[in-house]
Structure 1
Amino acid sequence: MTLTRFALPLVLAVAAFSLGAAEAAPGEPVPSQNAPATQIPFGFTLGDAQQPTTSHVAKLGSDIAFPPGTFDGALGGLTSTVPITGKLAIPPTDGYFVAFRFMATTGRVEIVPDGDASGTATVHTGKDKDCKATQTNICADTDLTAKVFIKLSDVKVDGRPLDVGPDCRTAQPAAVTIKALVPISLPASPVKVTSTFTTPAFGGCVGHEDVSRLLTGLVSGPGNTFVSNLTLRCFSTGCKQP
């Protein structure tokens, strides 16, 4: 029986310069002249060794820490509010928790994106009051939703394998919506983001028997949290197109 749900969330932000801007302030990323006007790439790092991305499983009272991940996306234009899309990549991790308050359980937890994350970003530039808190002249108010399946494998209870089969995951993707005001500057300081989400029921957890309902009872439900430090890695030049 394993647990863990993590919703990845992921949040994105991106900066945009007004088309009439003659010159960017020092330290601010400048879009490449060759970048398509409606597809400006950017990249974020999620978490690091000191402050990993974590997911809190409400029903079990347990935290799952993930290795550093990435979010590579694109900004759809240079107007005030624009669409953003991106691909989330978070390495799998081993989780530990105590089921029924006494049973030590471990398992491999994998976050499987259900397509691209998408949303909008409202870009603020200059001395806009919304950017003052970020201590930068460029920031983005983001509203992003990532849908991810939570897959479990290599489950052990008290050190004994529990056969969950090769396709044990949430029957529906978990929707993680993240809203954050993210500064855009290079080099960039990390910004902490937090989101609350619901873990769907599990399905396909069939080995010697179907344990999907067991895992659903242990893990699924509302009130789970996703916490990560996001750091802008690149903007325009030097970024790969998602």
Structure 2
Amino acid sequence: MQLFYTPHIEPQHTAFLLSEEESKHAIRVLRLQVGDTIHLVDGRGGLYKTEILDAHPKRTSLKVLHVQTDFGKASAELHMLVAPTKNIDRIEWFLEKATEIGMQEFTPLICEHSERKEVKVERLEKVAIAAMKQSLKAYLPKINPAITFAKFMASAEAQASTVQKGIAHCVDAEKNYISNAFQPAGKYLLLIGPEGDFAEKEIKDALAAGFIPLSLGNARLRTETAALAAVLEISLLNR
């Protein structure tokens, strides 16, 4: 099944016009023709089965045959806040894999020890869209602009008591594994720091806000590896 990302389609639509980019891919690259069936996703859980009415390489027109809402809806909600790496390719790799596995929201977290202070959201969104389509998902993770650790800790989300919150840090202290610390079918908020780790004050502030100190094992992991390990553990917890 080949998916096309169409964020502007709505469940009540009976017909739809593909964008020029998606039309070109469908007609010029995949060589689809009138009468062929293609599937659209809106990034909000909607899966649309459609039929090509006009195979135009710039504006392919479609007839909507069937709509399925909440396609592949997860039982949990995971928001990952990860310090962007100096080499942005590593964060893009993480985002690709986390989207495939199942992550609902991502925020680049600028910490005291962060080597990278700026992130282009548009580029990350393109990576997430490609991963969503490749993994046959209908939900696109929300990609937020970068935020400093201090500003995030002052937010309502960080202070919420209904969210299961954890911070993975490298300081030698008592920690919990995700499988022991969290319950399934919940909302999760996980913090992954830079390769220089969180600053001491950042760890103290997170713990004071109710974040559970987490262990991801005995090995020293790169930032993007640690983040992906956390996503995998949440996925297994909610399997």
Structure 1 or 2: more strand by fraction: 1
Q: TM-score with structure 2 length normalisation?
A: 0.24
Structure 1 or 2: more helix by fraction: 2
Q: TM-score with structure 1 length normalisation?
A: 0.24
Q: Which has the higher contact order (CA 8 A, sep 6+)?
A: 1
